[in-house]
Amino acid sequence: MIPFNKPYLTGKEIVYIEDAVKKGKISGNGYYTQRCHDFFEKKYGFNKCLLTTSCTDALEMAAILINIKEGDEVIMPSFTFVSTANAFVLRGAKIVFADSRSDHPGMDEEKLEALITAKTKAIVPVHYAGVACDMDKIMSLAHQYNLFVIEDAAQAIDSFYTGKDGIRKPLGSIGHLAAFSFHETKNIISGEGGMLVINDKSFAQRAEIIWEKGTNRSAFFRGEVDKYSWVDIGSSFLPSEIVAAFLWAQLENIEDIQKVRISHWEKYYNELQDWALKNEITLPVVPSYATNNGHMFYLVCKSIEQRQAIIDKLKSKDILAVFHYISLHSSVFNKTNNIIPELNQSDKYSDCLLRLPFFYELNIREIIEAL
Amino acid sequence: MIPFNKPYLTGKEIVYIEDAVKKGKISGNGYYTQRCHDFFEKKYGFNKCLLTTSCTDALEMAAILINIKEGDEVIMPSFTFVSTANAFVLRGAKIVFADSRSDHPGMDEEKLEALITAKTKAIVPVHYAGVACDMDKIMSLAHQYNLFVIEDAAQAIDSFYTGKDGIRKPLGSIGHLAAFSFHETKNIISGEGGMLVINDKSFAQRAEIIWEKGTNRSAFFRGEVDKYSWVDIGSSFLPSEIVAAFLWAQLENIEDIQKVRISHWEKYYNELQDWALKNEITLPVVPSYATNNGHMFYLVCKSIEQRQAIIDKLKSKDILAVFHYISLHSSVFNKTNNIIPELNQSDKYSDCLLRLPFFYELNIREIIEAL
């Protein structure tokens, strides 16, 4: 059986976990957590990073930081994971779902302005498949209407956006805040895991407090206060050093991992051109302002029936291809609690998008021959 | 330097993590998570268990499950960790702080009834140092006023309560819900980690949904629904298999760990009797309905000055003894957001309680001789 995903190990994960254990500290915010923070801050120029137990938790931190209150509206794509929405719903927000682009599952930047009301507090672009949303357009709207932008960069590690100024910026460095995932299905993994990036410096101090369960413990350890106590809301957002040590082994090998994954993606893309054309299937589009980070390879089939036929065909050859999100606007939860907008593009990706097996040790040829 | 805490390893942690990795699944809710759930359900008769990334997260799940809303009141001791309060504050609750007992830092059961109003939704007893609150009294009040009881059993693994019926019940099995911690300072550890216990069966199905980010994914994998989607609020509460594998190695050795820790506690207790009497220091009290689980050994000094003198004396001999909570009622957060009750017993423990080094590999004699 060829699975859809297979976690890739660099070989040093266990070594570093053993070392973390030997260092005598396995709760959070120790040596390996710091190494991971430093890595991201240096490599991608992120202002401040905080590892979290999941990308969900990073999004929840963001919702707390921007002070989401009952009735605030948050705009995001419908074609996304539940956590993008739940992180804000937990703080009382009403979610306003945007449709996807016709050429890409990311949200249609042209349709955003019509969704903004006096209650809108934030826009959450999701860089689907690691491909950038058009951030110039989104940041400009945010500036005009005084909104926060929180990048859901769960799938977007080591991916870039080049805006009108011609400067290539890493995804996660553009919004006020950004959230990454290290779930085992991602490029860089720690089983479960995530990270909040704080680009807007005004959030940095409070982010540290919220991360440390609402206490000023970090300031205490820096000697800035003489005892630490309860100063804010917060949660236990930080992962153990065991998780951070695992992650560090992955980060050390990010160049190699990315090279292999991007080469897989290109092989799929090049070798499936004729087959796709013949079968009226659309291959992924990467706009000129975006890069491809080798996170995922998907097909957009012409119908739900065609998609099912491909799933069945691959399954008969012991290959697992899987669809993705059921658009949130048509979920049971949204139907019960919110209005149901008509989002045709989002529905299209729910019905017709199919993800092919994608992992480091994959032999692409086997999949291509089976299609 | 003798630290206050030193994580103890059974030797199998790395072996099981390697095995989890080999099994090809390192995200949550896999083989080792299931083993841990089964262990607790069998050994302590807990109805249903769900591992979480922290005890904080287990308490947050509890707050969601009992539908805490803006303005609901939750009664808990002031002498507790911030997360006991924040978990409910995050859902909009007002915290009503109870004083501690004169003979124990746990909350004074006799003073609870006076704190109950029409808005009270739950009582959260904290089994401080693993010593049971008088659960008969608390459960009877809860029954009378139709309140939920959520046991904060962070420190209370393998500890018991014997009520009027003469039946010895494990802590965590008595309230509607209970939360445990596996933080590195606890008896059984996984770096960061926790668990929600669901004793009231009416919560079982929704707990699973909230745990899986508000989706019915668990029902999907059992074949009960044909696709899974967004059905409720929720978060990514489940830890990775890496964390669960580590925890499993600890649980396998719980008998040994408990034997050693309880013997440490008894040695402290027996050998410090005369010294305590001479210095007007109170040793821990374990009421007849409770057991001692060897979680912590603390002194209640006669004054904050005496406590500081002992801390300094031990520090001069390279031994780290530490105080515990700053009572939440007198914290910056509570002062800003709530009324400040007068809680003299709670203040006493904030000022006078001192925790002596306590871990598996500790040589108690060194501490006793240094005092």
Over residues A268-286, the mean pLDDT reads: 98
The pLDDT confidence band at residue B303, using thresholds 50, 70 and 90, is very high
Respond yes or no: is residue A302 known to be catalytic. Answer: no
- B233·A89 Cβ contact <8 A: yes
Q: What is the pLDDT of residues B337-347, one digit of tens each?
A: 888 899 999 99
Chain A residue whose CA is closest to B81 = A230
DSSP strands (E only) in chain A: 48-52, 73-77, 94-98, 120-123, 148-152, 160-162, 168-170, 177-181, 194-198, 298-300, 353-355
pLDDT of residue B24: 85
Judged by DSSP in three states, B251 sits in helix
The one catalytic residue in A48, A94, A121, A186 is A186
So what's the pLDDT on residue B39? Answer: 98
What CATH number labels B254-370?
3.90.1150.10
The pLDDT tens digits of the residues spanning B46-71 come to 999 999 999 999 999 999 999 999 99
Percent of chain B with pLDDT over 90: 93
Choose the catalytic residue: B6, B186, B213, B259.
B186
- Check if the beta carbon of residue B52 is closer than 8 Å to that of residue B196: yes
Residue B368's pLDDT is 96
The per-residue pLDDT for B218 is 84
Task: Residue B17: name the closest of B183, B187, B250, B173 by CA.
Answer: B250
Q: pLDDT value at position B243?
A: 97
Tell me the nearest-neighbour CA distance from A122 into chain B, angstroms. 19
User: Which residue carries 């589009």 as its tokens?
Assistant: A285
d(CA A337, CA A334): 5
Q: By mean pLDDT, which of A59-63, A167-171, B218-222, B356-360 is the weakest? A: B218-222
Residues A147, A123 contacting (CB under 8 angstroms): yes
Quick check: B21 and A3 CB within 8 A? no
Q: Taking phi first (over 0 means left), then psi (-120 to 50 degrees means alpha), and beta for anything else, what does residue A168 get?
A: beta
Residue A181 has pLDDT above 80, yes or no: yes
Q: CA nearest A297: which of A365, A348, A358, A353?
A: A358
Q: What is the mean pLDDT of residues B200-214?
A: 97
pLDDT given at position B344: 97
Whether the per-residue pLDDT at B226 is higher than 90: the answer is no
Class of domain B13-251: alpha beta
Across chain B, mean pLDDT equals: 96
Mean pLDDT of B194-203: 98
* β-bridge partners, A2: A319
Q: CB–CB of B9 and A21 under 8 A?
A: yes
Q: Which residues of B touch A183 (CB under 8 A)?
A: 27
Residue whose structure tokens are 């069945």: A312
Question: How far B217 CA lies from chain A's nearest CA (Å)?
Answer: 12
pLDDT computed for residue A226 by the predictor: 77
* Cβ neighbours of residue A100 closer than 8 Å, sequence gap 6 or more: A77, A78, A79, A106, A107, A108, A343, A345, A346, A348, A349
Q: Which of A357, A363, A152, A158 is nearest to A253 (CA)?
A: A158
Question: For position B263, what pLDDT does the model report?
Answer: 98
pLDDT of A337 strictly over 90:
no
Three-state helix/strand/coil letters over A258-288: HHHHHHHHHHHHHHCHHHHHHCCCECCCCCC
Residue of chain A whose alpha carbon sits nearest to that of B60: A235
- Residue of A156, A178, A182, A176 lying closest to A239 (CA atoms): A182
Residue to mutate among B52, B57, B80, B82, with most A CBs inside 10 A, is B82
A255-370: which CATH architecture?
Alpha-Beta Complex (3.90)
CA distance B305 to chain A (A): 16
For the record, the structure tokens of B351 come out as 């000022």
* Length of chain A as a residue count: 371
Residue entry with tokens 């009503």: B96
Q: What residues of chain B lie within 8 A of the CB of A14, using their CB?
A: 14, 17-18, 21
* Domain locations along chain B: 13-251, 254-370
- pLDDT digits over B321-363, tens only? 999 999 999 999 998 888 889 999 999 999 999 999 999 999 9
Mean pLDDT rounded to a whole number for chain A: 96
The 10s digit of each residue's pLDDT in A231-259 is 999 999 999 999 999 999 999 999 999 99
Count of residues in chain B: 371
d(CA B164, CA B176): 19
Q: How confident is the model at residue A225 (pLDDT cuts 50, 70, 90)?
A: confident
pLDDT of residue A282: 98
